[in-house]
């Protein structure tokens, strides 16, 4: 039986081609597992129309439960053009997304120009501030640089997804209005630092995520990830904190509702 409280997957890529053959079934399994709402961030401008169409409610539905965010991911730097920052404003004004992202910095992957990454990232920070939208941030080996950019631009809020930084960096992010998105990586027993963070961090700063189809949890090593696995993540994190899964589900869903201003269920 799923956790008896509705869950929010704060980060999953349902528009990815890995789901093109069975997307409806994936969504159905998510709903059966209690994952009733999902935030779906973009990675490049070329994919914005597909993402919009996937998240659109079908005739007769009040909502699909899928909520798009539009942005320019640092790992797709080769696909980005300066005009995409201008087009992002047009998409926000027309489509009214709930967040800007996925954006950020990646200093792990070789060959990604740090200066170009910084320019696109700070451009998106300014867009988010202009439209009063939260950010969905990718920060791989770049948490300090992300914090510095957030501080420079100011008046921002959001989530650093797949968080992998230190406890001190986490505190700095909380002080700047950012939550932490955690998921599959913290379910692996070897991830002691992440598991300690899950167990001890203030609950009001935690969001649950799958990052599907990537980052499979400890129960599906090496397999395609999907949003239905959020139930496993919730149960694992609740055990680490010594609380009931429904308490964790209730709190993290409330956090997502507050950050993203999700409409009422």
pLDDT at 8: 98
Rounded average pLDDT over 238-262: 98
For residues 263 and 113, the model is more confident at 113
Mean pLDDT of 53-69: 88
For domain 7-260, the CATH architecture is: Alpha-Beta Barrel (3.20)
Q: What is the pLDDT of residue 1?
A: 81
pLDDT for 154: 96
Percent of the chain exceeding pLDDT 70 equals 98
Query: Does residue 62 surpass a pLDDT of 80?
Result: no
Q: What is the pLDDT of residues 96-142, one digit of tens each?
A: 999 999 999 999 999 999 999 999 999 999 999 999 999 999 999 99
Domain boundary assignment for the chain: 7-260
DSSP character for 138? E
CA distance 74 to 65: 27
Give the whole-angstrom CA distance, residue 24 versus residue 29. Answer: 9
Residues 9 and 252: their CA atoms lie apart, in Å, by 10
For residue 61, pLDDT over 90 is answered with: no
Mean pLDDT in residue range 227-243 = 98
Distance CA 126, CA 133 (A): 10
CA distances from 101 to 5, 50, 77, 193 (A): 27, 15, 14, 26
* 160 pLDDT more than 90: yes
- How many CA atoms, within 13 angstroms, populate the side-chain half-sphere of residue 92? 24
Q: What is the mean pLDDT of residues 17-38?
A: 97
Separation between Cα atoms, residue 48 and residue 34, nearest integer Å: 27
DSSP 182: E
Residue 58 confidence (pLDDT) above 80 = no
> pLDDT averaged over the chain?
96
**217, 231 contact by CB (below 8 A):** no
At residue 63, the pLDDT reads 84
Task: Tell me the pLDDT tens digit for each residue of 180-226.
Answer: 999 999 999 999 999 999 999 999 999 999 999 999 999 999 999 99
Q: What percent of the chain has pLDDT over 90?
A: 95
Would you call the peptide bond into 22 cis, given omega within 30 degrees of 0 as the criterion? no
User: Is the pTM for the entire model greater than 0.85?
Assistant: yes
How confident is residue 263, by pLDDT bands cut at 50, 70 and 90? confident
């Amino acid at each position: 039986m799923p956790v008896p409280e509705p869950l929010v997957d704060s980060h999953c890529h349902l528009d990815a081609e890995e789901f093109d053959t069975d997307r409806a079934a994936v969504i159905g399994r998510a709903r059966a597992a209690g994952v009733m709402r999902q935030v779906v961030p973009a990675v490049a401008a070329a994919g914005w129309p597909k993402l919009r169409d996937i998240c659109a409610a079908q005739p007769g539905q009040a909502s699909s439960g899928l909520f798009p965010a539009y942005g320019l991911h640092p790992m797709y730097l080769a696909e980005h053009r300066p005009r995409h920052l201008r087009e992002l404003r047009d998409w926000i004004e027309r489509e009214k997304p709930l967040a800007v992202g996925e954006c950020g910095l990646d200093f792990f992957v070789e060959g990604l120009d740090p200066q170009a990454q910084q320019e696109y990232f700070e451009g998106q920070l300014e867009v988010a501030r202009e439209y009063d939208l939260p950010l969905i941030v990718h920060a791989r080996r770049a948490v300090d640089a992300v914090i510095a950019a957030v501080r420079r631009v100011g008046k921002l809020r959001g989530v650093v997804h797949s968080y992998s930084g230190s406890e001190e960096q986490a505190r700095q992010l909380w002080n700047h209005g950012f939550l932490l998105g955690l998921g599959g990586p913290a379910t692996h027993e070897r991830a002691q630092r992440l598991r300690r963070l899950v167990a001890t961090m203030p609950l009001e700063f935690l969001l649950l995520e799958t990052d599907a189809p990537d980052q499979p949890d400890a129960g599906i090593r090496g397999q395609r990830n999907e949003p239905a696995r959020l139930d496993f993540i919730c149960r694992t994190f609740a055990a680490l904190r010594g609380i009931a899964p429904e308490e964790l589900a209730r709190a993290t869903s409330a956090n997502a509702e507050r950050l993203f201003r999700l409409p009422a269920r």
